[in-house]
Chains A and B, each alone.
Chain A
Amino acid sequence: MERYRMEWKDFPWCSVEQVKLLDRFSTSNKSLTGTLYLTATHLLFIDAHQKETWILHHHIASVEKLALTTSGCPLVIQCKNFRTVHFIVPRERDCHDIYNSLLQLSKQAKYEDLYAFSYNPKQNDAERLQGWELIDLAEEYQRMGVPNSNWQLSDANRDYKICETYPRELYVPRIASKPIIVGSSKFRSKGRFPVLSYYHQSKEAAICRCSQPLSGFSARCLEDEHLLQAISKANPANRYMYVMDTRPRLNAMANRAAGKGYENEDNYSNIRFQFVGIENIHVMRSSLQKLLEVNGTKGLSVNDFYSGLESSGWLRHIKAVMDAAIFLAKAIAAESASVLVHCSDGWDRTSQVCSLGSLLLDPYYRTVRGFMVLIEKDWISFGHKFSESAIFKNLYFLGVRCGHLDGDPKEVSPVFTQFLECVWHLTEQFPQAFEFNEAFLLQIHEHIHSCQFGNFIGNCQKEREELKLKEKTYSLWPFLLDDQKKYLNPLYGSQSQKSAVLEPNTVSFNFKFWRNMYHQFDRTLHPRQSVFNIIMNMNEQNKQLEKDIKDLESQIKQRKNKQTDGILSKELLNSVRPESPALKATLSLKEQALLPVNDVLRTIEGSSPADNRYSEYADEFSKAEPAVVSLEYGVARMTC
């Protein structure tokens, strides 16, 4: 925040006073009054208590100006991180100005206008480069155990000639020759031919990914068939391989009419073909929209909430993604079978399923660093979205799905949010299996949309290189690692959960609404005391205490030694004496500091009826019954 403050003081574009910030759910008109500032990158509201609300322009999903009311002009801003703020600006002209500025500021037309290109965390070039080198995918493939006797690094796509949207470095079966690869890529949508995504060293089985074949109703491609055979031969443990089409069967069949489709089991030897039925991006987008509509309702009843949750289909979709990942992980863990995953273009559902499947299989991806690697690998390096309808010809898929630039709203979809939510569900079922906590997931989600760091900007490796992101922007990961303490799970470490293949239970009742994601900024809906934070701080405190004990023990030992020596030399005395009062002081300070820590930890957040939307109860007071004297003054007292 300090950082932002420096910036906005330098460029205060405009400010409006006496703006009211309404409580999103309040049925009475409870509000905070303050000043609204607009800077080059943020919208800032400072209320009378000097509490600051920062909103990055890139986070703004929609700005809406409502009909003028007696108290002013309402402005509703919805953010991609699910924050919703409701301002009332006293003068309509101001409101209109803010509205127009925000519309312009929130939709960037050029990559160069994105925040990442102006964001400056005061690091030098070397530090920045080091940050980018933190995650090295070649290293990651080595960790998995490739290249090896069956898998090799292919240079076929070194100049992005075969597939523009794939990275340069691709791992393929050793026996797959270049002509086979080239042939196969011509038979796959967008040239995205089958390549290695994850290699399971002990099972010798692989997760491969690609896009749908251009099979239409009857077309075949011998090279493609060979490539699949090469993949199954690269697995000595099981000659059968699964081909998972993550789409619903109907969608896949409809694609055949457009000359696309799915693999015919008769043409490919040794494959088992399977549909897993995850819906497409459009269904997912409207599902999330419905969910947000429901949970944004004022005075929501329990029944409306659950029927809304049901009709949005959101949890059903989450379960479908999870089930697909479990299918994948089982094929590898139980049958040692390799699996080829695709959807239509192989960058949405395929990424979800491959990354979640790897996460279930490999405990490394459940660590802080491993999770970053997983995202870099399955989402950033393989991901891409070519959008002809968008203003820009090549839009990076995350950029498009998250609406970084002003493009086609139909291409925006919460695929990545779903991935994070699946991971969250896993952390709920396996509280000790993940090194990171919920805050880590939320922080990553925040930056998927923030465009503050270069990781999620640009178009595949090719375009990222063209944009010179590594020279012009910073990588998110080192910043998260620096703050690692905040993102660690204090309960991580039970051996049984840490190393095992996770087998989540997907009976419907295990799926819950992720309040902390969709109501992250609605503090009043959260528990008022967090067990998690307490344990986290206690863990930290324990480490400090362990250190203190060591220090104290060595000091005592020193003292005792001296006493047994009996005679102390003058020098020794001098060297010890000045030290000890200071030491004493720090110790007693620590002692004092230790105890209040607990009190601070356990302070209750927002436990006052004013914060708690008891207006819901208070309504009772304002609904004056005919025969009863109105209790207006009571209401006023209760809300203030």
Chain B
Amino acid sequence: RFVGPLGTIIIKCKDFRIIQLDIPGMEECLNIASSIEISEWRLSYVNQEFAVCPSYPPAVTVPKAIDDDALRKVATFRHGGRFPVLSYYHKKNGMVIMRSGQPLTGTNGRRCKEDEKLINATLRAGKRGYIIDTRPLNVAQQARAKGGGFEQEAHYPQWRRIHKSIERYHILQDSLIKLVESCNDQTQNMDRWLSKLEASNWLTHIKEILTTACLAAQCLDREGASILIHGTEGTDSTLQVTSLAQIILEPRSRTIRGFEALIEREWLQAGHPFQQRCAQSAYCNSKQKWESPVFLLFLDCVWQILRQFPCSFEFNENFLIMLFEHAYASQFGTFLGNNESERCKLKLQQKTMSLWSWVNRPSELSKFTNPLFEANNLVIWPSVAPQSLQLWEGIFLRWNRSSKYLDEAYEEMVNIIEYNKQLQAKVNLLRRQLAELETEDGVQESP
């Protein structure tokens, strides 16, 4: 199926853009699969026809010890058929992040041996893992009434469960509407502005999401433990956490290509329902049941980390703003549909162009490149204190005030950096010239 030179596909396929759509994601999957000891993980095509899980891609990475039949069984035990799959492999210590939907324990405490076996297969002998449930305990308990639930300690003794509270659906949407509304009001006094900013709760959501992502990253990197992350469906808050944890942990995801791959893998392939979530944005009058700025919150969190580590990202703020715009309305097919299955049915690969093929052209890339970027191989731990979080002015105040002076300052900064490069090059050139002249002189003088 996916034959051909791995890792170079995007660059080679400049002219036949159409088939690029899901290649970066697959490539990443395969890269991960190939970089992991073969004895532990394998690529499974159990979902090739989208029959086992409609929101998963055809190929997913699972523990080697679990066969496809077991996966089918586990799928019936997880919300939306979203059985635990590999999301991220931490090369440093071999620990992993997995994600899934909630277990369907229901009120009578159903269990699924295969599910337990699957996630236990990811643990090293004697090691414990963490399950991060993005819902508060009481919400998770209530979910049992509707057939959902959470992993019982008795059945998962090697796992420690942590509940966080990341909001979802209309609560986030209301938050966005309130925030945008108050940003648009130029006349309000200071007290009103601050109280509306507070009442929107937007930055509270940012803090919750970032804190959970840091917790996940900490489990992995500091505790040396593998983790499983899920909420209810495993298509929203779960993806925010898994993708942000990777931004924190994995230097590659802070590069442009790496970030594109992350979006492909953790958002598009992982089945975040873009069509449902990003249909209307902030100015919709009618209540849209599925509308929710989950992806925007993720981008905002990335921006917060970018603000704190301005040299550790290859892309700049404009890149994030561009992604935000295309997620809501785009001439490209990338963000259409709710999952891979729908995108296949819509034949998007044949009928539309990929956003990445456009973005990755040098002329576009230059707009999105951070001039201060210097590869940083460390784990970057952001501060989540309220004093460290800021309103993303580039998004929310963009149309409400002139950014002329800020833009000019940015240009000046770019100029200084460019000038520095030129000067360095020139100095090196002159030094070489001088050295050549000196050796010539030496040759002349020595006889």
- Taking a contact as CB atoms under 8 Å apart, the answer to whether B194 and A309 are in contact is yes
Q: Decide yes or no whether A257 CB sits under 8 A from chain B.
A: no
Q: Is the CB of B197 within 8 A of A306?
A: yes
Within 8 Å by CB of A546, from B153, B406, B423, lies B423
Chain B interface residue count: which class? 35 or more
Does B160 touch A at the CB level, under 8 Å?
yes
Once the chains are docked, how many angstroms separate the CA of A560 from the CA of B195? 72
Partner of A612, one of B188, B383, B406: B383
Quote the shortest CB–CB distance from B272 to chain A (angstroms). 24
A201 within 8 A of B: no
In the complex, what residues of B have CB within 8 A of residue A546's CB?
423
Bound Cα distance A524, B424 (Å): 34
Q: Chain A 554-573 against B: per-residue CB contact (8 Å), 1 yes, 0 no?
A: 01100110110000100001
Q: Could you say which residues of chain B place their CB within 8 Å of the CB of A637?
A: 222-223
**CB–CB A527/B309 < 8 A:** yes
- Quick one: which of B193-238 are within 8 Å of A by CB? 193-195, 197-198, 201, 203-204, 206-207, 211, 214-215, 218, 222-223
Q: Contacts A430-B405, A631-B160 hold; do A587 and B312 have CB atoms under 8 A apart?
A: no
* Distance between Cα atoms of A442 and B378 in the complex (Å): 31
- B211 contact set on A, CB distance < 8 A: 616-617
Dominant secondary structure at the A interface: helix
A48 within 8 A of B: no
B309 touches A604 (CB 8 A): yes
Q: Are B387 and A515 in touch, CB under 8 angstroms?
A: yes
Q: Is the CB of A512 within 8 A of B390?
A: yes
Task: Kindly state the separation between the CA atoms of A175 and B3 in the bound complex, as whole angstroms.
Answer: 94
Surface stretch bound by A, among B48-56, B74-82, B435-443: B435-443
* Chain A residues whose C-beta falls within 8 Å of the C-beta of B378 in the assembled complex: 604, 607
Partner of B423, one of A542, A604, A618: A542
Contacts of A254 in B (CB 8 A): none
- A598–B374 touching, CB < 8 Å: yes
Beta-carbon contact of A302 and B386 below 8 Å: yes
Please state if A529 and B311 are interface contacts (CB–CB under 8 Å).
yes
| Chain A 548-599 residues near chain B, CB threshold 8 A | 548-549, 552-553, 555-556, 559-560, 562-563, 568, 573, 580, 584, 587, 591, 594, 598-599
- Interface size class on chain A is 35 or more
Q: Is the interface of B mostly helix, strand, loop or mixed?
A: helix
CA gap between A496 and B402 in the complex, in Å? 15
Report the Cα distance A530→B311, complex, angstroms.
8
The complex places the Cα of A530 from the Cα of B309 at a distance, in Å, of 8
Query: Assuming A313-B191, A552-B434, A628-B161, is B198 touching A307 (CB within 8 A)?
Result: yes
**Min distance, Cβ A506 to any Cβ of chain B, angstroms:** 10
Residues from chain A with Cβ under 8 Å of B419 in the complex:
542
Binding-face segment, A110-118, A406-414, A532-540: A532-540
Residues of chain A having any CB pair with chain B under 8 Å? 25, 295, 300-307, 309-310, 313, 315-316, 319, 429-433, 490-491, 493-494, 496-497, 505, 507-513, 515, 519, 524-531, 534-535, 538-539, 541-542, 545-546, 548-549, 552-553, 555-556, 559-560, 562-563, 568, 573, 580, 584, 587, 591, 594, 598-599, 602, 604, 607-609, 612-614, 616-618, 620, 625, 627-629, 631, 634, 637-638
Q: Besides A552-B433, A628-B160, 9 other CB < 8 A contacts? A: A301-B386, A302-B206, A429-B405, A496-B408, A508-B194, A535-B416, A560-B437, A604-B312, A613-B385
Can you name 17 A-B residue pairings with CB atoms under 8 Å? A301-B204, A304-B386, A306-B386, A431-B409, A433-B405, A508-B190, A508-B194, A515-B388, A527-B310, A529-B308, A531-B413, A538-B416, A549-B426, A560-B437, A563-B441, A584-B438, A602-B374
